[in-house]
Amino acid sequence: MPSTEPPQFHAPAGLIIGWRDGEVVRASGIRYARAERFKPCVAEPPSVTPILATAPAPACPQVADPRLALAFGDFYTDAIFDEDCLRLSVTVPAERQPAEFLPVLLWVHGGSYVTGAGDVPLYDPAALVSEQRVVVVAVTYRLGLLGFLGSEGGTPPNLGLLDLLEALRWVQRNIAACGGNPNLVTLLGHSSGADAIAHLMVSEGAAGLFRRVIMHSAPLGLARNRQPMIQAMAAAIGTFPATASIDEVLARETAVNKAVRRFGLKSGMPFGTQYGAFPLPAESEIEQAWEAVAPQVDVLIGATAEETRFFAAIDPKFHWLRRLSFVGTLLSRLLVRVTSGMIYLKPAEAFAQRHARAGGRAYHFLMLFQPAGDTFGAAHTVDLPLLLGTQASWGATPLLAHANWDPIHQAGQQVRTLWADFARTGVLPAQVQIPGVLRLKRE
């Protein structure tokens, strides 16, 4: 008979009290650090009282983007927003044996560095955890103006990246107590989360914190030559008192959108990591830095076949193309092909090839999966339901267009098996073809 007692993890962080949820055990909303506004975070000391880990991590305060509802519906179901958001959640198979230490996947959510949270229902890792017998850690970190904009002599840049490093240190100290193997930590990220992972690979202090990385749809084509835009953003935001309310902070963040319009494609993700600011090397040294770490980190990187079709579908400024009938369809396809290649597809393949040349193990994938309906196709984010979430969380989203969940689940099982095998061993077949779902090759 299953125990009715709440699960407990005796960790260096303190006694963590979690909760049972069907085939998994969860410990949610655990504090890994604290931070004053616009300052680097400080690791959370061990707790002398039990840590009640039964509520989701709060999301970082953020400017609402109504366009997201056109793809995800109510993305933030029951979410709480709080600057005190440096929390993580651990999900473990319910039947794990006491002496069993499983591979760990640390989930870094996307959202252009301005939206998202680790514990939203769409990112529920229960299927991945129970089916593949892995441990998943979901991290919430600072976003936007709070986490990814700074300047010399002012607010330190890369605060959100420092948050992620501190979360990784927490994992190294504590994950064995939760059933995870600290020597088998794989970073799993999507979009800006994948971009952050690419830069964690070359961050000072990151060595030894993880063994492998899986990067979905990293917008690496937007990472370079950002300094003029960053300066324009800083000028648009200006200065404000430390006592400013969070609403005042977010209002300044909104001002950035107007200031960056003249910077073309980069304006689609104005916030992000900054080279030459701790913990990152200078931009002129980044290629050499990635080459230097290649032998120590296994890489699985790729993108969807029609990445930017997502933005064409949700952004009103592209809707005029639909009114041009056949010509509009052709123009839209051309625009999607060119921008997807520039921002996501070509940089991902180049990243894998460089990694392999430098002596690392690298796999490159292309996601072909597309849901029912003709709006999104194989667009940005359509691969997420193959890894995370449930029918209950994804089934009613416009992104999946009420598609039958069974084929999505079956395709997801194949992808989840490959990804978990990579997390366990770092080794996949030299070539994989899953018709209509995935193409993968070793570089």
Q: Smallest Cα–Cα separation from 155: which of 146, 163, 166?
A: 146
Per the CB < 8 A criterion, the answer to whether 1 and 10 are in contact is no
Neighbours of 256 (CB within 10 A): 22
Active site residue 319: no
Contact 25, 7 (CB under 8 A): yes
| Catalytic one of 190, 199, 355, 380 | 380
Residue 342 is given by DSSP the state: I
Sequence-ordered list of residues with C-beta below 8 angstroms from that of 295, at least 6 positions apart, any chain: 358, 359, 360
C-alpha–C-alpha distance, residues 426 and 245, integer Å: 46
Query: Edge-to-edge strand order for the sheet containing 14-17?
Result: 8-11, 14-17, 51-52
Among 253, 307, 349, 443, which one carries the catalytic annotation?
307
Strands 212-216 and 19-21: unpaired
Q: How far apart are CA 385 and CA 223, in angstroms?
A: 26
C-alpha closest to that of 344 among 370, 315, 306, 313:
306
Over residues 121-139, mean pLDDT: 97
12-56 pLDDT, tens digit each = 999 999 999 999 999 999 999 999 999 999 999 999 999 999 999
Q: What is the pLDDT of residue 312?
A: 85
Mean pLDDT of 89-102: 94
Identity (one letter) of the amino acid at 425?
A: T
Q: Are 119 and 29 in contact (CB under 8 A)?
A: yes
CB-side exposure of 265: number of CA atoms within 13 Å?
17
Biggest CA–CA distance in the chain, Å, is 67
Q: Strand 431-434 vs strand 438-442: parallel, antiparallel, or unpaired?
A: antiparallel
As a whole number, mean pLDDT of residues 333-361 equals 96
Q: Which domains does the chain have, with CATH numbers?
A: 8-141+158-217+297-442 (3.40.50.1820)
Q: State residue 1's pLDDT score.
A: 44
Q: Give the pLDDT score at 75.
A: 82
Structure-token pair, residue 349: 């393949």
Per-residue pLDDT tens over the stretch 279-330? 999 999 999 999 999 999 999 999 999 999 999 888 776 665 666 665 556 7
Average pLDDT in the chain: 93
Active site residue 89: no
Verify whether residue 191 is a known catalytic residue: yes
Options 112, 191, 192, 217, the catalytic residue? 191
Query: Using an 8 Å Cβ cutoff, are 150 and 37 in contact?
Result: no
> Taking the mean position of all CA atoms in its chain, how far away is CA 56?
17
pLDDT digits (tens, 9 = 90+) for 230-281: 999 988 888 878 789 999 999 988 888 888 989 988 998 999 999 999 999 9
- Angle at which helix 227-237 crosses helix 246-259, to 10 degrees, equals 130
Helices (H) and strands (E) in the chain, counts: 13, 16
pLDDT score at 5: 86
Residue 17 near residue 8, CB atoms below 8 Å: yes
Compute, in degrees rounded to 10, the torsion defined by CA atoms 394, 398, 401, 403. 0
Helix (H, G, I), strand (E, B) or coil at 362: strand
Burial class (CB in 10 A: 0-12, 13-18, 19+), 139: buried
